Amino acid sequence: MSRMGMCVWVMLALVLAGSAGRASGSGFLANGPLPPVPVPADNPQTDAKIRLGRALYFEPRLSADNTISCATCHNPKTGWANITPTDTGIGKQVGDRNSGTIVNSAYMQFQFWDGRAGSLEEQALGPIHNPIEMGETLDNVVRKLNAIPGYRDMFQDVFGTDATTDGIAKAIAAFERTIVSGPSPYSRYLAGDREAMSPAAVRGQALFNGKGHCSACHSGPLFSDQGFHNLGVGMQVASPNPGRQKVTNKPGDLGRYKTPTLLNVAVTAPFLHDGSEKTLLDVMMFYNRGGVPNPNLDPQMLPLALTKKEMQDLVAFMEALTGTYPVMEAPPLPPDSPASAETGKGGAL
């Protein structure tokens, strides 16, 4: 093929690729449906493992004082997130991060706001031995679980061993991979139902991909570029939280935090990594101001000159990203053995 012919084919491919990424008839970028949940080869999904993970997710005995579970801060009834700006752990200790949601976390390349965990398995263990969250040691958690006959039997059934830290992590991660969102007004709109989104949401979609500059970071099916950005949140203090810099030790990562998914964002208030914005309209006003000036401010953070009506339309679009998601109660948890209850090693439910 001649060089000219090759150029024609490349240009055609680019045009077709661009067309495939746009909603039919909308003329704007379509983030598209979510792909199948990625599952690591060394932790395949099984029903028994998911049941074990569900029990562990709701299990307060994973904490040092037997009062805090994963569900305490990632509550299924509040969008698998928390309604407070930041979380409160054992001894009423208050952290400095908003909990974020478990919904669709299986798609994230990095876990936690600073991305310090590279998998759900790694993330699952972090809060257990965090001194201001669950405040327990991993060794003691293993001892506590193995002192409970029901858990010991479940681990033997799933992994062929008694409870281990690896088994705890894999089971919780397997359960969390089942917490994904379903159809939303936006997804139905993309599928051809032109009545699925309100006129305000349709206008908001255009702003999202245009004047609002939102899709620069909130892109792809997850509405997240999976990157880290400095919006200026918390940077006005003398010693700001380091954010991503604590993981990489790179000065340029000071104040950078992971781009969260926008799927189901409307049910997970408050917002931003410190929970400092109460509503989505508050978030839009923050972005409209261009964030908080600081030396590391992301170059994408610019004053937007949006009108209040335009910001309301953007909020309507984000609300249209709310899909179905699982809501459940805690399952029956294995009771303490008489011996562990007497010694206090198991803890009361």
Average pLDDT in the 189-200 region?
96
Average pLDDT in the 196-206 region?
98
Residue 270, preceding bond cis, omega within 30 degrees? yes
What pLDDT score was predicted for residue 340? Answer: 54
Over 60: is that where the pLDDT of 121 sits?
Answer: yes
Average pLDDT in the 3-15 region?
34
**Confidence class of residue 4 from pLDDT cuts 50, 70 and 90?**
very low
CATH no., domain 183-319: 1.10.760.10
Q: Write the burial class of residue 276 (CB in 10 Å: 0-12 exposed, 13-18 middle, 19+ buried).
A: middle
Least Cα distance to 171 among 47, 72, 287 occurs for: 47
Least Cα distance to 102 among 348, 306, 328 occurs for: 328
Q: Write the burial class of residue 216 (CB in 10 Å: 0-12 exposed, 13-18 middle, 19+ buried).
A: middle
What percent of the chain stands above pLDDT 70?
88
Least Cα distance to 130 among 148, 116, 119 occurs for: 116
Chain length of the chain? 349
The CATH fold assigned to 47-180+326-343 is Cytochrome Bc1 Complex; Chain D, domain 2 (1.10.760)
Write the pLDDT tens digit of every residue in 15-37: 333 333 333 333 334 477 889 99
Average pLDDT in the 144-162 region?
98
Instruction: Locate 104 and state its tokens.
Output: 């669709």
Spot the catalytic one: 59, 133, 176, 319.
Answer: 133
Over 80: is that where the pLDDT of 3 sits?
Answer: no
Q: What residues contact 84, with CB distance under 8 A and at least 6 apart?
A: 270, 275
C-alpha 258: how far from chain center: 10
Fold equal for 47-180+326-343 and 183-319: yes
Over 80: is that where the pLDDT of 152 sits?
Answer: yes
Whether the CB-CB separation of 60 and 347 falls below 8 Å is answered with yes
What pLDDT score was predicted for residue 339? Answer: 62
Respond yes or no: is residue 277 known to be catalytic.
no
Distance CA 17, CA 267 (A): 33
Instruction: Locate 258 and state its tokens.
Output: 């992971």
The pLDDT mean for the chain works out to 89
Domain borders along the chain are: 47-180+326-343, 183-319
Backbone phi, then psi, for 220, in 5-degree steps? 80, 175
What pLDDT score was predicted for residue 15? Answer: 31
Task: State how beta strands 228-229 and 257-258 pair.
Answer: antiparallel
Q: What residues contact 7, with CB distance under 8 A and at least 6 apart?
A: none
**Confidence class of residue 194 from pLDDT cuts 50, 70 and 90?**
very high
